[in-house]
Structure 1
Amino acid sequence: MMRPDWRPPTLDTPRLVLRPFEEADAEPLFSLAANPAVTRFTLWDHHQTLADTRVFVRDYARSRYAEGVPEPLAVCLKADPRRWPVGAVGVFWASQSNRVMELGYWLGEPFWGAGYAAEACRVAVTHAFAAYAVERIQARVIAGNDASVRVLEKVGFRAEGTLRGSLYRRGRQEDVRFYATLRGDWTGERPGTAVPGRRGTT
């Protein structure tokens, strides 16, 4: 049961703050989510209008918070005094009865190649292992998304295999590669921290 004082977590790393989305985030986020290059390997299509981004922030992210689901979180640069989101990251239950969660993430194209995705994923996974009774955290990668593979390998996830033709997306069958880490494997190198008093639990 969700506590009355529950809030989604805010997580801190050397260069990033991962925080709950706010409705004011829609406008700066739209310029990133409208880029087809960002969604080349995602399950969601690039945003056509600002209204699409408002739906994501209000009807998806913030409605999940209201249900006690602590994801997705906005990825923000500490160097930006406005703390506008540059992407999103989340760890969510794939099968709570089996103690399995799944990691998802994306960044706007101007922020690719700087190590931000790995930094955000590392602290999100570290927090999930600390906050939940989870034994396995997995990630799915559509075949061809080599940049995402590099992020997962940098963080310490292990390749487990490919499910051939297991995803129908945009008119074609796609292969999906599975990566995962287990609680006993996780080292959490260079972990961030949760802001005191704001850790999310369910």
Structure 2
Amino acid sequence: MDYDRLFCNLYSRTVAATHYASSHRNDCVNLYFYKTHCAGTQINAKTVGGAIMMPILKSLRLTLRPFILSDASDVAAMAGDYELYRTTLNLPYPYQESHATAWIEQHEAHLHEHGFYTWAIERAETSELVGCVSLGQNLKQHTAEIGYWIGKKYWNNGYGTEASKLAIDFAFKALCVNKVLGRFFAVNPASGKIMEKCGMHFEGILKESIFKDGTYHDIGFYGLLRSEWLKMDDHRKFVRVDLRKVNPHDVSALQYIEQKAFHEDIIRYGDRPDCPANESLESLSYKVQTYDYYGIYENDKLIGGADIRTSPDFTKCRLARIYLDPRYQDIGIGKKAMLELELLYKGVTHWSLDTPHQNVRNQHFYESIGYVHQYTKAMDEVLKLFEYEKIMDVS
């Protein structure tokens, strides 16, 4: 089967521009590109026959495609507007068609060498070019910065927001970044509003950080974490859960996650020495080296842990502890991790665990995946533990 033909939905500069319009589904990024590149951190341009390939992104009203040289006159007409220049970080002024041509000619190299994506924003109905949206990656930090501009003639139509949402989704789905950043001139709050409408959160102002036209400008910053994006719309289907034995070098990071995950227990039951939030680094290190202690990863980021104790004959497993960074709760990761553990221990017939009596959410969760309450154990006047068991069908 020709998977490039079936899944790619990519635009190549070596293919006529008219070929791209009919070959893409709405509201998706291409599946082939996603499957090919999500496994790694560094994203290089997809190539076919040596030609640089770019993803086509589509929404109800817009198509994001690569720029082509015939766009230069339209780019110059829009980018040459002083109002646009005044509110953007990098556009020169005055802006000539030669600037546009040189800029477009750089896109392939920027994509291939730096993973920098630059899309033309085009109205789907009329094929009019209305602006630009870009993603620049920091491969080391696993972030991407979004940038955009819309021609003045097309302001107040929501095109900036719609195009930015497509680019942000692409950054998290295909590039698998941990964070998308955005910045804007503080004198142009409308740009910040676009980021806000995309779900990004205001992170602050960097005072007088850009010198332009003889004066210093304040720059506003917005950001969106992957953990936040996963909770938006139907994005939880893009959760990528992986279990690995904890590396001793990661124990300190795991302890920090454990403290955050169990902080509420201190509020409920008091600052007890046996509360997991109070576990020492030495105790956690011992468990990691002694037992089957798994790190729970989402998109290659450590977000939780699971402490497994097996019986001598390996037919029973005790889930001594499982926890997630609170930012990653309520999006299905806990369930995926539990099911993955059951697959790792296929011969186990009995699973058991306990949870505090006041933690109703945990009780509902365990019962939803097949655990049955067996009995209640009183630890003292304050704390009671509900004991749960799950019988596995290994036939």
Q: Structure 1 length as normaliser, TM-score? A: 0.85
1:22 aligns with 2:68: yes
1:120 aligns with 2:163: yes
1:55 aligns with 2:134: no
Rounded Cα–Cα distance in structure 1 between residues aligned with 2:45 and 2:120: 22
1:89 maps to amino acid: V
* 1:90 alignment partner, one of 131, 134, 142: 134
Matches within 5 A, 1:67-106: 67=113, 69-80=115-126, 83-93=127-137, 95-106=138-149
Q: Structure 1 residue 48: deviation in Å?
A: 3.3
Moved more, 176-185 or 37-46: 37-46
- Deviations along 1:43-77, whole A, 9 cap, x unmatched? 2224432111111111x323324536351100000
Identity of aligned residues (%): 28
When residues 10 and 70 of structure 1 are mapped into structure 2, their CA distance, relative to the original with a 3 A threshold, is farther
Rounded Cα–Cα distance in structure 2 between residues aligned with 1:129 and 1:52: 31
Moved more, 30-39 or 3-12: 3-12
Q: Structure 2 length as normaliser, TM-score? A: 0.45
SS state of the match for residue 176, structure 1?
strand
Consecutive unaligned residues of structure 2, counting only runs of 5 or more, are 1-43, 236-395
When residues 146 and 68 of structure 1 are mapped into structure 2, their CA distance, relative to the original with a 3 A threshold, is closer
TM-align CA RMSD = 2.0
Matches within 5 A, 1:152-163: 152-163=195-206
Rounded Cα–Cα distance in structure 2 between residues aligned with 1:168 and 1:45: 14
- Deviations along 1:127-162, whole A, 9 cap, x unmatched? 110111310101011111111011111111100111
Identify the residue that residue 7 of structure 1 maps to in structure 2.
53
Larger radius of gyration: 2
Aligned 8 A contact 2:142 2:178 in 1 = yes
When residues 189 and 33 of structure 1 are mapped into structure 2, their CA distance, relative to the original with a 3 A threshold, is farther
SS state of the match for residue 37, structure 1?
helix
Alignment: residue pair count: 187
Consecutive unaligned residues of structure 1, counting only runs of 5 or more, are 192-202
When residues 189 and 56 of structure 1 are mapped into structure 2, their CA distance, relative to the original with a 3 A threshold, is farther
* 1:182 alignment partner, one of 225, 230, 248: 225
Rounded Cα–Cα distance in structure 1 between residues aligned with 2:68 and 2:45: 20
- Deviations along 1:72-108, whole A, 9 cap, x unmatched? 100000121xx24211001111x32121110100000
Q: Structure 1 residue 30: deviation in Å?
A: 1.6
Q: Structure 1 residue 25: deviation in Å?
A: 0.8
Q: Structure 1 residue 188: deviation in Å?
A: 5.4
